[in-house]
């Protein structure tokens, strides 16, 4: 009898991390050997306020299953106010995506300080688990890319 090999769902997850807190938090998670799934790929940005909604939509357009943005805790921004603007922008953008019928679990913002390696790792584990429960992102995928 032939056993059919089932395709395991390997989500594509983009994590934008600010250079000063969250990227350092991810480094700490690494040096503390706190595991999280390899599906998470980090893009370093100077500050959470550098993240343009275009980047997030583009990720989804190119087939990402989840996008997470990590920055310094409110009040701790290296540039003082960057994460406050990021917070408003992402709140409105995520609300809009939700309004368009995209599962709101596919987007997340988390504040992770340079000292919070544990939080970084748990956040990523949680987020990946959430994406697994939601499955492949069919609603925002760019059909054009998938057909070729």
Partner 1 sequence: MQRIGVFVCHCGTNIAATVDVARVVEAAAKEPGVVHAEDYQYMCSEAGQLKIREAIKEKNLTGIVVCSCSPRMHENTFRQAAERAGINPYMVEIANIREHCSWIHKDIEEATEKAVILARAAIAKVTLNAPLQAGTSRVVKRALVIGGGIAGIQTALDIADAGYEVDIVEKTPSIGGRMSQLDKTFPTLDCSACILTPKMVEAAAHDKITIYTYSEVEKVSGFVGDFQVDIRKKARSVDMSKCTGCGVCQEKCPSKKTPNEFNRGLNNRSAIYTPFAQAIPNVPVIDRESCIKFKTGKCGVCAKVCQAGAIDYEQKDEIVTQNYGAIVVATGFDTIKLDKFDEYSYSTSPDVITSLELERIMNAAGPTKGHLERMSDHKAPKSMVFIQCVGSRCADKRGKSYCSKICCMYTAKHAMLIRDKYPDVEVTVFYIDVRTPGKNFDEFYRRAVEEYGVNYIKGQVGKVAEKGDKLLVQGVDLIDNKRILMETDMVVLATAIEPNPDVRKIATMLTASIDTNNFLTESHAKLRPVESPTAGIFLSGVCQGPKDIPETVAQAGAAAVKVVGLLAKDHLVTNPCVAKSDELLCNGCSSCEKVCPYGAISYEEREVNDHGIRETRRVANVNSALCQGCGACTVACPSGAMDLQGFSNRQILAEVDAICK
Partner 2 sequence: MERAKELLTDGTVVRVLGWKQGDLGYNPEPAYFNSPEELADFVYDGFCGANLSKYMIQAGKMERNTLVFLKPCDTYSFNQLIKEHRVNREKTYIIGVGCKGTLDIDKIKNAGIKGIESISQDGDMLKIQTIYGEKEFPFDDALLERCTVCKGKTHLVYDELIGAQEGEEAGPKGNRFEMVEKLEAMMPKERFAFWQNELSKCIRCNACRNACPACSCLKCVFDSNKFDSAQKANVDTFEEQMFHVIRAFHVAGRCTDCGECSRVCPQGIPLHLLNRKFIKDINEFYGPYQAGEDTDSRAPLTDYMFEDVEPSVVTERGGKH
Interaction site with partner 2 (CB under 8 A): 52-54, 57-58, 60-61, 74-75, 81, 84-85, 87-105, 107-109, 134, 139-144
Q: Say if residues 21 and 76 touch (Cβ distance below 8 Å).
A: yes
Spatial strand order of the sheet with 13-18 comes to 40-45, 13-18, 66-71, 107-111
- What binding mask, one character per residue, do residues 111-140 give for partner 1 by CB under 8 A, x or -? ----------x-------------------
Binding segment for partner 1 (CB under 8 A), chosen from 1-9, 53-61, 103-111, 128-136, is 53-61
Residue 112 site contact among partner 2, partner 1, none (CB < 5 to 8 Å, cut-off depends on kind) = none
Which is nearer to partner 1, 50 or 132 (by Cβ)?
50
Nearest to 110 by CA among 71, 53, 141: 71
Residues making up the chain, counted from first to last: 148
Q: Say if residues 84 and 77 touch (Cβ distance below 8 Å).
A: yes
Q: Is 105 in the site for partner 1 (CB under 8 A)?
A: no
The DSSP element (H or E) to which 111 belongs, if any, is: strand 107-111
- Per-residue tokens: 75: 């009040």
Residue 118 site contact among partner 2, partner 1, none (CB < 5 to 8 Å, cut-off depends on kind) = none
Under DSSP, the state recorded for 9 is -
**Interacting residue with partner 1 among 22, 69, 70, 82 (CB under 8 A):** 82
Which is nearer to partner 2, 1 or 100 (by Cβ)?
100
């Amino acid at each position: 009898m032939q056993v059919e090999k089932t395709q395991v769902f390997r989500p594509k997850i983009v994590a934008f991390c600010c250079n000063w807190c969250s990227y350092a938090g991810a480094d700490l998670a690494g040096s503390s050997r706190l595991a999280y799934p390899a599906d998470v790929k980090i893009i370093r940005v100077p500050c959470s306020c550098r993240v343009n909604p275009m980047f997030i939509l583009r990720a989804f357009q190119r087939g990402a299953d989840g996008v997470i943005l990590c920055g310094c805790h409110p009040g701790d921004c290296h540039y003082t106010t960057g994460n406050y603007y990021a917070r408003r922008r992402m709140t409105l953008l995520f609300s809009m995506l939700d309004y368009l019928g995209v599962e709101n679990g596919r987007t997340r913002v988390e504040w992770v300080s340079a000292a919070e390696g544990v939080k970084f790792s748990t956040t990523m584990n949680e987020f990946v688990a959430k994406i697994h429960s939601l499955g492949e992102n069919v609603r925002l995928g760019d059909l054009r890319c998938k057909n070729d």
